[in-house]
Amino acid sequence: MGIGIDLGGTAIKGGLVNTQGQVLEERTKLTESHRGYQAILEDLVELINDLLEISPNETIVGIGIPGILSGDCGTIVSSPNLHWKNVALKKDLEVRLTQKVLLVNDATAACIAEASFGSIFKKANAMMITLGTGIGGGLILGHKIITGAHGVATEVGHMVMGENFYNCGCGKNGCLETFASATALVRYCDMRLKQGISSTLAKEKILNAKIIMDEAKAGDVLALEAVDRLAKYLGMAISNISDLVDPEIYAIGGGLAYAGDFLLDKIRTATMKYLTYPDFAVPEIVLAQLKNEAGIIGAANLSHYIITRK
C-alpha cells in the first residue's frame, strides 16, 4: 500500500492506496488556509499519523501540492490557493515524521494516477489537463514524469494564447486559464450578460460552471457561445503542445470534465481545426477516469515516477 495526500485550497484529503489503485481508507480535514502555514502543517502531521496507525509499515508519504515546487521538489515556491511562498514543507514534515516525504504538483499527481490505473494506463507519451478553477497539466514522456529544470514544466494554464478582457491571477494577460477554466467560463458569461445579450443565464443570482454547461446542453445561445469559446482555446493549446512534445493521448480531468462527451466532442473538433498534421499526427483525447480520488492515488504512487535531482 501507499499513503497519498491531496492538499487543496478547500480540503486536505489523505488515503491508503493499495497496489490496484483503490483507496481503502480516507481521512479529510478542512484546509482553512487563513489559519496559516503552521496550523496546516500540524493538520498534515495529524492526518498522516492517523493513516499510519492503520498501516504502520509505510515508509513514504506522497503529497500533491496546488502550486509550484522548487527544482529539488522540497520547497513550495508559490501556492496562491494556500497563500504560501517559499515554505520548506518536505523538511518540516520529515522532522516530525519517520517517513520520507515526496512532493509533487497536484495536476502531476493526477497524471500519475491516470497513468498508473486510469485513462492513460501504460501510455508512453501522455498529457493530463485538469480543468477547474484554473488549469493544470501533467506530462509523461518515455514513461517518465516531466517536471523541468526548475519544477515549473507543464504549467499549461499559463501559456499565453492572446489578449483577453481580464488578467490572470499570475499577473499576465492572455493565459489559457483565463480562456478555458471554470472561472473563465463564468467571467465570460458575466461580461456578455452585462453587455445585454439575451440568455436564460440572466435569471441566475450566482453563476457557476455547472449551470452554464447545463444551459449549453439545453441550447442556450450564450452558454453555447461560452463553451465553444472555451473548447476553441483548449483545441489551440492542445495543438501547441502537440507541436512541442507530440503526446499520443490527452486525458481531460478536473471539475469541468464532468460535462462528459458534450464538452469532449467540442474539444476534439476544435483540436482538429488547429492541428499542424491532421492527416497522421492526431492524438486521442479522452476523459480522465479517477475523478476526485486521482490526487490521492497519484500521490501514493509518486515514488514509482519521481525523478530524483541533486
Strands 144-145 and 249-253: unpaired
Distance of CA 215 to CAs 45, 182, 189, 221, 260, Å? 43, 14, 12, 9, 14
Instruction: Classify domain 121-288 at the CATH superfamily level.
Output: ATPase, nucleotide binding domain (3.30.420.40)
Q: DSSP assignment, residue 199?
A: -
Q: Which three cell numbers stand for residue 232?
A: 476553441
The 3 state secondary structure assigned to 42-87 is HHHHHHHHHHHHHCCCCCEEEEEECCEECCCCCCEEEECCCCEEEE
How many C-beta atoms lie closer than 10 Å to residue 287's C-beta?
17
Domain ranges of the chain: 2-112+293-304, 121-288
The CA R_g of the chain, rounded to the nearest whole Å, is 20
The domain 2-112+293-304 having CATH identifier 3.40.190.10: the answer here is: no
Domains 2-112+293-304 and 121-288 agree in fold: yes
Q: Which three cell numbers stand for residue 60?
A: 513514504
Q: What is the pLDDT of residue 309?
A: 41
- Cβ contact 138:110 at 8 Å: yes
Chain centre distance of CA 184: 15
Q: What is the pLDDT of residue 249?
A: 98
Each residue's pLDDT tens digit in the chain (310 positions)? Answer: 899 999 988 899 999 999 999 999 999 999 998 999 999 999 999 999 999 999 999 999 999 998 888 888 889 998 887 889 999 999 999 999 999 999 999 999 999 999 999 999 999 999 999 998 889 999 999 999 898 877 788 999 999 999 999 999 888 999 999 999 999 999 999 999 999 999 999 999 999 999 999 999 999 999 999 999 999 999 999 999 999 999 999 999 999 999 999 999 999 999 999 999 999 999 999 999 998 899 999 999 988 876 444 3
Phi first, then psi, for residue 150 (nearest 5°) are: -115, 10
Dihedral of alpha carbons 273, 156, 302, 80, sign = negative
Chain centre distance of CA 210: 18
Neighbour-count burial of 73, counting CB atoms closer than 10 A to its CB (0-12 exposed, 13-18 middle, 19+ buried): buried
Q: What is the pLDDT of residue 1?
A: 83
Q: What is the pLDDT of residue 308?
A: 43
pTM, two decimal places: 0.90
Residue 1 CA to residue 73 CA, distance in Å, equals: 23
How open is the CA angle 69-256-217, to the nearest 5 degrees?
A: 165
Exposure string of 263-279, with b = 16+ CB inside 10 Å and e = fewer, is bbebbbebbeebbeeee
Chain centre distance of CA 271: 20
Question: Of the candidates 24, 226, 244, which has an alpha carbon nearest to the alpha carbon of residue 137?
Answer: 244
